[in-house]
A and B are shown apart, each in its own frame.
Chain A
């Protein structure tokens, strides 16, 4: 039997290969021949790092149509490539664009998908992926359709491993959609957050809807400053526009593993827990004793974050 062909969907950013794509080469190599799919005008600069991390082939298309991120050209070109190359499995990282591509691809090919996998492997011929539901439950799932199997892997489920290999580059022609490309990017605006990087922080203070008002988020920032901590947020308040998306911890935000995670006014929805459940020490402050966040807290304080946070900040200041 020929070796299984496992593709990884590779996003290229300003700093080269997106780290979440690079991580996927580790499980891909373990399951078969790892091949990277790169659709980017700047893709050729990334082939060596992809080879070094386990890709034996890079399917490269540097067409200018991929200069702006628009989903339809990516899917049209990917559909053609899948049809001619017949991969067994395609792994997608947990990024916004990859999610868009995977969902539209699934609808185009009418194949099943597994989203948010924390692990993926083959048991004999059967694909098996682990998917968590909140802090409490985990399922093992497989796909009855395909190939290709489409699986989106959670952030930091795997670690990139440099092996010193190199990849063969195969040029791929861009496919133009029959009806043209219908979405135009008018403007792209960068929004950077100040302060300590969430993903590198050893202490994080996060706030959620329980803070009541956007202006109360400064109580979280004040405590973070005294603890020399990074500032995070739940999806609820990011979506509500209190803080930028770059603050978001959770399934569709950043995955963090700090030494200490302080959750203030965060109920602990599945979405949030997926991003911080592996923190070493969790302190939760919430007025609802039934909040799910208390299940994975080491110390849970049932009370009003608005009155506790200022007192706590004051005490930490006096302790330093």
Chain B
């Protein structure tokens, strides 16, 4: 069984967003970027399937050259090899271009299963997986919290608004997972050492078969007109809890002020 996982290198979501007002987009500083934590759940689920049924897990990523740091993390977890699509003209790509680039590379791998996060932790559109499923002509199982494979059939539980559903499809299939699908393993020292030697196949747009003019900011169908800082009128009163109980007094006083008590 061959499983492709999508891996995105994103600005650390625990740090404040930095925006370039001229380029009208988020600044992506490689030294403050990490493998999207949401992707680790899909990687773990894929590794568990490959361990159980045999097979290979391949990571596919689109990003700057520095994104190899994110890929090495996936490899330290157990991913065997990776394809990184990196090209200057991809900068500023929208969700649709991202889906076109990733699905083009994924199609060349002819996987049985494609696993992605439900949405990236930086842009949150959640549009790339579904668009890829259409481009790959695969059925899509979304918001999945458990996956079982039996022969050529996948059975999954998926979250929906009022509960969950059990759904079934034949391979090949694209699956988007939530974080309850599996607890990501922490890479071992051995895994980290092995990751350094694993192959990353770096491709430019030409190798993917997509014209540079139709990619990146030039080809983006979603255009940013302007990006501005929202004025927050709130004055935050910050207190340090020193264990004396004073902070509890503050909270109770505020709850009274807001008429919650």
Contact = CB atoms under 8 A, between A and B. Distances in A.
Q: Do A and B bind each other?
A: yes
Interface of A: 13, 69-72, 75, 95-97, 99-100, 102-108, 110-116, 128, 132-146, 179, 182-192, 202-203, 227, 229, 236, 238-241, 245-246, 251-252, 259-260, 267, 269-271, 274, 280-283, 285, 289-290, 292, 294-304, 307-308, 311-312, 315-316, 319-320
B65 interface: no
A135 B168 CA distance: 39
B254 A183 contact: no
Contact of B250 (A132, A182, A299): A299
A259 B260 contact: yes
A190 B163 contact: yes
Closest 3 pairs (CB-CB, A-B): A303-B241, A103-B130, A112-B221
A182 B241 contact: no
B207 interface: no
A37 to B, nearest CB: 18
Interface of A is mostly: mixed
A300 B179 CA distance: 28
Interface of B: 13-14, 16-17, 19, 24, 26, 41, 94-96, 99-100, 103, 118-119, 121, 124-135, 137, 139-143, 145, 155, 159-170, 178-180, 220-230, 232, 234-243, 245, 247-252, 254-256, 258-261
A185 B99 CA distance: 26
Contacts of B168: 183-184, 186
Given A107-B99, A142-B225, A192-B162, 12 more contacts: A71-B142, A96-B142, A106-B95, A136-B230, A137-B229, A138-B230, A144-B221, A183-B169, A188-B163, A202-B260, A239-B178, A312-B251
B106 to A, nearest CB: 13
Contacts of A259: 258-260
A292 B16 contact: yes
A183 to B, nearest CB: 5
Contacts of B132: 107
Given A115-B95, A133-B26, A191 B131 contact: no
A184 B221 CA distance: 33
Contacts of A128: 225
Contact of A280 (B143, B227, B258): B258
B221 A182 contact: no
A145 B223 CA distance: 10
B232 to A, nearest CB: 6
B133 A104 contact: yes
Given A241-B180, A259-B260, A295 B252 contact: no
Contacts of B16: 136, 290, 292
Given A96-B160, A134-B17, A182 B170 contact: yes
A141 B178 contact: no
A182 B124 CA distance: 27
B92 to A, nearest CB: 12
B10 to A, nearest CB: 11
Contacts of A191: 162-164
Contacts of A102: 127, 130
Contacts of B13: 269-270
Given A132-B230, A135-B232, A236-B179, A185 B241 contact: no
B134 A185 contact: no
Contacts of B139: 72, 182-183
Contacts of B251: 283, 285, 299, 301, 308, 312
A315 B19 contact: no
Contact of A294 (B14, B164, B236, B260): B236
A296 B232 contact: yes
20 contacts: A71-B142, A103-B134, A104-B134, A112-B220, A132-B230, A140-B226, A182-B169, A183-B167, A186-B165, A189-B164, A191-B163, A229-B260, A260-B258, A285-B241, A294-B238, A296-B236, A297-B238, A299-B236, A299-B251, A312-B252
Given A106-B96, A144-B221, A302-B239, A113 B127 contact: yes
Contacts of A238: 180
A290 B17 CA distance: 12
Given A106-B131, A296-B234, A111 B96 contact: yes
A185 B159 contact: no
Contacts of A179: 137
Contact of B127 (A72, A96, A106, A202): A106
Contacts of A300: 236-239
A320 B261 contact: yes
A182 B171 CA distance: 10
Given A144-B220, A185-B165, A135 B94 contact: no
Interface centre among B125, B155, B235 (most CB of A within 10 A): B125
Contacts of B224: 139-141
Contact of B222 (A69, A112, A307): A112
